[in-house]
Amino acid sequence: MRGARVHNLKNIDVDLPRNALVVFTGISGSGKSSLAFGTLFAESQRRYLDSVSPYARRLIDQVGEPDVDAIDGLPPAVALQQQRGTPSARSSVGSVTTISNGLRMLYSRAGNYPRGQKMLYADSFSPNTPEGACPRCHGIGRVFEVTEKLLVPDDTKTIRERAVAAWPPAWQGQNLRDILVSLGHDIDKPWKKLPRKTRDWILFTDETPVVPVYAGFDLDEAREAKEHDASPSYMGTFASARRYVLHSFATTQSHRTKKRVSQFMQISECPDCNGKKLKRESLSVKFTGLDIGELSQLTLTELARRLRDAANTKPSARDLHREKAIVAQRIASDILARVEALTTLGLGYLSLERSTPTLSPGELQRLRLATQIRSQLFGVVYVLDEPSAGLHPADTKALLGALDELKQAGNSLFVVEHHVSVIRHADWIVDIGPDAGTHGGEVIYSGPLDGLRDVEESHTARYLFGHEASESTSAATLAKSIATQSGRPKVSTTSTAAGAPRQPTGWLKLEQIERNNLQSLDVEFPLGVLTTVTGVSGSGKSSLVSQALVELVSETLGQKKAVEAPNGEVDLLERELETTTGGRIVAGMKHVRRLVTVDQKPIGRTPRSNLATYTGLFDHVRKLFASTRKAKARRYDVGRFSFNVAKGRCPNCEGAGFVSVELLFLPSVYTPCPVCRGQRYNEKTLEITYRDKNIAEVLDLTVESAHAFFAEEASVLRALDALLQVGLGYLRLGQPATELSGGEAQRIKLATELQRAQRGDTLYVLDEPTTGLHPADVSMLMSQLNGLVDAGNTVIMVEHDMQVAISSDWIIDIGPGAGDEGGLVVAQGPPAKVASSKASRTAPFLFS
Ligand code: ADP
Ligand code: ADP
Ligand code: ZN
Ligand code: ZN
């Protein structure tokens, strides 16, 4: 590869071996993804797309043409990238792995049919086909219902007083009431006094009569007008409350409408198929005594056991259904091989029907990896980001085995990784850096692992071979050394847990927790210290910490959980299917006043939110601009300097700075706005300067240069200091939220917390905060978290990184196994104590 300039890459050249495991290393923001995904994968995809029809091209998410001079010898690439945040499509483990297809074939060809029933085609076992879907719920497994109680919450009201609350507000609602008047109904009687028949018709009828409407007339006037054939104000169409609610929910484009009408609906399990989504005949076919719905609910481990039995049963010569038995054996062994690829990768606790949005990004990636192993492709390059994410060290071996298998099948692997055991397994290392953003983007080293030892400026080398490797229990030591060596401002660390663990100031006690695989679990979290919850994948860590703990605490604090899906959509199905937490908090809440969950989800979904707006720093900057003499003379207020407010922004791009150009058959491309040339503001606004820079130029400053520029403005400096502390000095103030990595988003959230006045009563909850972080970044993260604890707060996190676990004050190890074999507290206490536990599968990796 020659001359790559994507994002922060500095016109770099690199030669990579094929048929090898190439691992890209470097600190967060150094440019690893820009190289592996942004350049190599993007270019491979572009070339592939050049060879397909424009129509097919449109169906593929295109990543755009990378800025690179030349790449020779590039194989076709398959990206197995982790989607952080929200996988939107509603798919399941069975569909993603295509194992469900196999099962349908198995039931169709080798299932046990009730006497006299005709054989069904495989399609009949899919809820997504008309042949298979339960006719009552159309294959959803749930039915939507409206009841009088929901539609008319207060039956003492009259129709005029909007007894039918479900009807639309404003003009449309008025229209429906006028129609009822025309139809001869009394809209001034309390709802409950109306005859049953009338009430049912208004709420539930499917009829949609079109009637003359006399706007504003009362019952008598309307009757008279109709008798005299007076010409009506207009003709109106009636819709019952039920029709309106169900129709709007299904068809509206507006989030607000959808949210509004969803309050009037309820969902329950379909009584015909009991939530199994299939028609009765399909459910009557059994395999090992179970229908296909029941089989899909088994854990993969249990499914494998049953398939193994079927695959090993040799059909006897006298068997009446010999042919069927042979077919059953064939199909079962094929499915078994695919299920085993999943159980080997530590996913045996999942079931086929588990929906993908409930999986972690790491689990989803491993699902797809296992599917690829069975695909028998060769000559391709697989590009992966951090496949070790979410994996307990005990499971990492299986992952390396899977990567080796793909390589042996004749493929190349490009992997972005931070995990030492994966790095050590690499045939070739490409270390990017030396630092992040503009201070990175260069190839520090490219070659076999051993050669990295002598590369002084490499953080990775220092971590793998240097003195930090032996002393790395002290996260703060490393953080300090990195902060000074890379010219970042020094990280302040007053204490670390590595020496003597801190003493808890109290206990948060939870009792009888019920959630997923947790059954009536009692657990105590120490307050005022840093706790790591460990355990193999699927043992129940997230169920305990990110789900049960977060829900119970926020409930107690009265912070209500939003019912919105993460993508902002109201997803009634998901909401209703959500498992609820059983159990309660019995002690300790008097020490917790605030709950903050710090995750890697984007800080905003549009380019309109950025670093400066999210941290609140931009409010102060706008105040500074509004208080300049020229702004005052022109009466420009703070709103003038917001690109989200019409008066100050560029009218052409409405403050976005770019415009999208729609191209037929190609993805739309964004180009800088021709009017403001990407500056987002109108000419008049840009005439105002603060210390010789206009507002657009200020947004273009990096955090580092802004720190010097605003040296005398304490209010702005506070946020900038916090951002520097978490190592984000290289980001531009106006950097759109959409351009930030998960790790960067997480650190911005932490920085926002750090600049708050500390009251010492906050509970911070983090789920695998080190995902995507280089060991050097992990040290920085740890010193931030230690800072929060030193200020009197509590930190509880789920982690697989053993260095993190060792340097925390307290460990709670969940297990012993995954799924049904987990869900218990196996060991707890200071790291040294947990390390000596015989039962814990984590213990051998602590201090090893
Ligand atoms: P890494 O994978 O090493 O963490 P990335 O390749 O994601 O680093 O990012 C390298 C640099 O490029 C960072 O400064 C990041 O903020 C920037 N960057 C990432 N994505 C984009 C983008 N879509 N547009 C512009 N800059 C980006
Ligand atoms: P960990 O965080 O330790 O990897 P989890 O708490 O995610 O484990 O999972 C514990 C168990 O609960 C597993 O058997 C998993 O399949 C199950 N589980 C987790 N989330 C859900 C969910 N949303 N729906 C159904 N089962 C779930
Ligand atoms: Zn049904
Ligand atoms: Zn513009």
Q: How far apart are CA 464 and CA 448, in angstroms?
A: 14
| pLDDT value of position 640 | 96
Look at ligand 2, atom 19, and give the residue with the nearest C-alpha. 516
Q: DSSP character for 583?
A: E
Percent of the chain with pLDDT over 70: 90
The answer to whether the Cα torsion of 666, 668, 670, 675 is positive or negative is positive
- Ligand 2 atom nearest residue 547's Cα: 6
Taking residues 657-683, report their average pLDDT. Answer: 77
How many CB atoms within 10 Å of residue 686?
Answer: 17
What CATH superfamily classification does 2-87+355-465 receive?
P-loop containing nucleotide triphosphate hydrolases (3.40.50.300)
Residue 683 pLDDT more than 70?
yes
| pLDDT value of position 483 | 39
Residue 22 pLDDT more than 50?
yes
630 CA distance to ligand 4 middle (Å): 23
DSSP assignment of 310-333, as one string? HHH-PPPTT-TTHHHHHHHHHHHH
Ligand nearest to the Cα of 283, by number: 3
Look at ligand 1, atom 24, and give the residue with the nearest C-alpha. 739
Q: How far does the chain reach from its first CA to its final CA, in angstroms?
A: 40
Look at ligand 2, atom 25, and give the residue with the nearest C-alpha. 516
176 CA distance to ligand 2 middle (Å): 47
Q: How far apart are CA 392 and CA 385, in angstroms?
A: 17
305 CA distance to ligand 3 middle (Å): 29
pLDDT single digits (tens) 208-222: 999 999 888 888 888
- Residues 6 or more apart whose Cβ sits within 8 Å of residue 11: 3, 4, 5
650 CA distance to ligand 4 middle (Å): 5
Q: 10-24, 379-393, 463-477 — which is least confidently predicted?
A: 463-477
| pLDDT value of position 493 | 37
- pLDDT bucket at 473, cuts 50 / 70 / 90: very low
- Ligand 1 atom nearest residue 34's Cα: 6
Q: DSSP character for 502?
A: P
Residue 562 pLDDT more than 90?
no
| The architecture CATH gives domain 611-739 | Up-down Bundle (1.20)
| pLDDT value of position 573 | 52
Taking residues 733-751, report their average pLDDT. Answer: 85
- Residues 6 or more apart whose Cβ sits within 8 Å of residue 820: 299, 349, 517
The pair of three-digit structure tokens given for residue 516, joined into one six-digit string: 């997923």
pLDDT single digits (tens) 781-794: 898 899 899 999 99
| pLDDT value of position 231 | 87
Residue 504 pLDDT more than 50?
yes
143 CA distance to ligand 3 middle (Å): 8
357 CA distance to ligand 2 middle (Å): 12
- Ligand 2 atom nearest residue 360's Cα: 7
Residue 742 pLDDT more than 80?
no
| pLDDT value of position 568 | 41
Q: From the centroid of its chain, how far is CA 785?
A: 23
Q: What is the pTM of this model?
A: 0.80
740 CA distance to ligand 1 middle (Å): 7
How many CB atoms within 10 Å of residue 320?
Answer: 8
- Ligand 1 atom nearest residue 744's Cα: 16
356 CA distance to ligand 4 middle (Å): 39
744 CA distance to ligand 1 middle (Å): 9
Ligand nearest to the Cα of 741, by number: 1
Look at ligand 2, atom 22, and give the residue with the nearest C-alpha. 358
Choose between 318 and 702: higher pLDDT.
702
| DSSP-derived pairing of the beta strands 594-597 and 666-672 | unpaired
Q: DSSP character for 106?
A: H
Spell out which residues line ligand 1, taking CB within 6 angstroms: 7-8, 26, 28-34, 436-437, 730, 739, 741
pLDDT single digits (tens) 640-650: 999 989 999 99
CA angle 583, 585, 588 (to 5 degrees): 165
Ligand nearest to the Cα of 277, by number: 3
| pLDDT value of position 497 | 42
Ligand nearest to the Cα of 819, by number: 2
pLDDT single digits (tens) 628-666: 999 999 999 999 999 989 999 999 999 988 887 665 555
| pLDDT value of position 251 | 84
| pLDDT value of position 87 | 46
pLDDT single digits (tens) 316-329: 766 667 788 888 89
Residue 214, SS3 per DSSP = coil
Residue 415, SS3 per DSSP = strand
29 CA distance to ligand 1 middle (Å): 6
- For residues 291 and 134, is the Cβ–Cβ distance under 8 A? no
Ligand nearest to the Cα of 432, by number: 1
- pLDDT bucket at 579, cuts 50 / 70 / 90: low
| pLDDT value of position 607 | 75
Q: How far apart are CA 663 and CA 260, in angstroms?
A: 36
Residue 382, SS3 per DSSP = strand
Q: 188-192, 606-610, 724-728 — which is least confidently predicted?
A: 606-610
606 CA distance to ligand 4 middle (Å): 16
**Longest CA–CA separation in the chain, Å:** 101
Ligand nearest to the Cα of 135, by number: 3
- Ligand 2 atom nearest residue 767's Cα: 2
- Ligand 1 atom nearest residue 31's Cα: 6
Ligand nearest to the Cα of 731, by number: 1
Ligand nearest to the Cα of 798, by number: 2
- pLDDT bucket at 81, cuts 50 / 70 / 90: confident
Q: 281-295, 585-599, 601-615, 802-816 — which is least confidently predicted?
A: 601-615
| pLDDT value of position 400 | 94
Q: DSSP character for 278?
A: B
Look at ligand 1, atom 10, and give the residue with the nearest C-alpha. 31
Task: Select, from the ranges 53-57, 474-478, 546-550, the one with the highest average predicted confidence (pLDDT).
Answer: 546-550
- Ligand 2 atom nearest residue 820's Cα: 14
**E strand or H helix that includes residue 237:** strand 234-237
Look at ligand 1, atom 17, and give the residue with the nearest C-alpha. 7
Return the closest-CA partner of residue 537 out of 374, 387, 337: 387
Taking residues 389-395, report their average pLDDT. Answer: 84
Please name the fold of domain 147-264: Helicase, Ruva Protein; domain 3 (1.10.8)
Count of CA atoms in the C-beta half-sphere (13 A) of 657: 18
Taking residues 438-444, report their average pLDDT. Answer: 94
- pLDDT bucket at 106, cuts 50 / 70 / 90: very high
- Ligand 1 atom nearest residue 438's Cα: 14
Q: How far apart are CA 72 and CA 68, in angstroms?
A: 11
517 CA distance to ligand 2 middle (Å): 7
Taking residues 744-760, report their average pLDDT. Answer: 83
CA dihedral 30, 33, 38, 41 (to 10 degrees): 140
819 CA distance to ligand 2 middle (Å): 7
649 CA distance to ligand 4 middle (Å): 8
Taking residues 801-810, report their average pLDDT. Answer: 94
Q: How far is CA 484 from CA 490, 710, 727, 787, in A?
A: 6, 23, 11, 18
**E strand or H helix that includes residue 21:** strand 21-25
- pLDDT bucket at 477, cuts 50 / 70 / 90: very low
Look at ligand 1, atom 21, and give the residue with the nearest C-alpha. 739
- Ligand 2 atom nearest residue 515's Cα: 12
Taking residues 246-257, report their average pLDDT. Answer: 83
| pLDDT value of position 63 | 60
Q: 48-62, 174-188, 273-287, 722-736 — which is least confidently predicted?
A: 48-62
Taking residues 36-57, report their average pLDDT. Answer: 83
| pLDDT value of position 494 | 36
Query: In the predicted model, what is the mean pLDDT of the chain?
Result: 87
Taking residues 812-841, report their average pLDDT. Answer: 94
- Ligand 1 atom nearest residue 30's Cα: 3
Question: For a substitution probing ligand 2, which of 342, 513, 517, 824 has the most ligand atoms within 8 Å of its CB?
Answer: 517
| pLDDT value of position 355 | 87
Domain ranges of the chain: 2-87+355-465, 147-264, 506-601+758-845, 611-739
ipTM of the complex model? 0.92
CATH 3.40.50.300 given to domain 506-601+758-845: yes
Spell out which residues line ligand 2, taking CB within 6 angstroms: 349-350, 354, 358, 516-517, 535, 537-543, 579, 819
Residue 474 pLDDT more than 70?
no
Return the closest-CA partner of residue 231 out of 250, 218, 246, 215: 215
Residue 560 pLDDT more than 70?
no
CA dihedral 689, 693, 699, 703 (to 10 degrees): -130
Tell me, yes or no, if the two domains 147-264 and 611-739 fold the same way.
no
Q: How far apart are CA 420 and CA 770, in angstroms?
A: 13
| pLDDT value of position 155 | 94
Burial of 297 (0-12, 13-18, 19+ CB in 10 A): middle
